[in-house]
Amino acid sequence: MERISWHQYFMAQSHLLALRSTCERLTVGATIVRDKRIIAGGYNGSVSGSDHCIDKGCYVIDGHCVRTVHAEMNAILQCAKFGVPTDQAEIYVTHFPCLQCCKSIIQAGIQTVYYATDYKNHPYAYELFNEAGIKVECVPLADQVLNLLPHQP
């Protein structure tokens, strides 16, 4: 059996994290990596101890669910909480980051953004990433990656 690439490995981790999402509108996962090692992961969900969208419904203001913390932010905040530096790291996200997450990624010193799916890709996000010298690349998750185990009859 051939090993999967690093990109597919980390993107698969982000998709796995997205399965923990508690938002009904979109499930997103993010994995922060440095030196080919996972240093944090996050998914979009409610503030710890607060109501979840899956229990109380989404709290939508101006077309956005404000109940959830985005996956990218949860991963970055996990690093901050436990004192793990994010400078020069990479982030793998299931969907293109929103503007707020884009700015947080830049401020965290993350140098590369890999995303699997286009989602409301804002031109200003591209502009900000470009100004900051951050590489952005679409890395779709290959269908076979999450189906590597042989089928058992």
Residues with catalytic function: 72
Specify whether the CB–CB gap between 29 and 119 falls below 8 A: no
Q: How large is the C-alpha radius of gyration of the chain? A: 16
Cβ count near 94 (within 10 Å): 25
Phi and psi at residue 97, to the nearest 5°: -65, 145
Tokens of 53: 């969208």
C-beta separation of 68 from 48 below 8 A: no
CA dihedral sign of residues 71, 72, 73, 76 = positive
Helix (H, G, I), strand (E, B) or coil at 68: strand
Instruction: Report, in this order, helix, strand and coil percent for the chain, each rounded to 5.
Output: 35, 25, 40
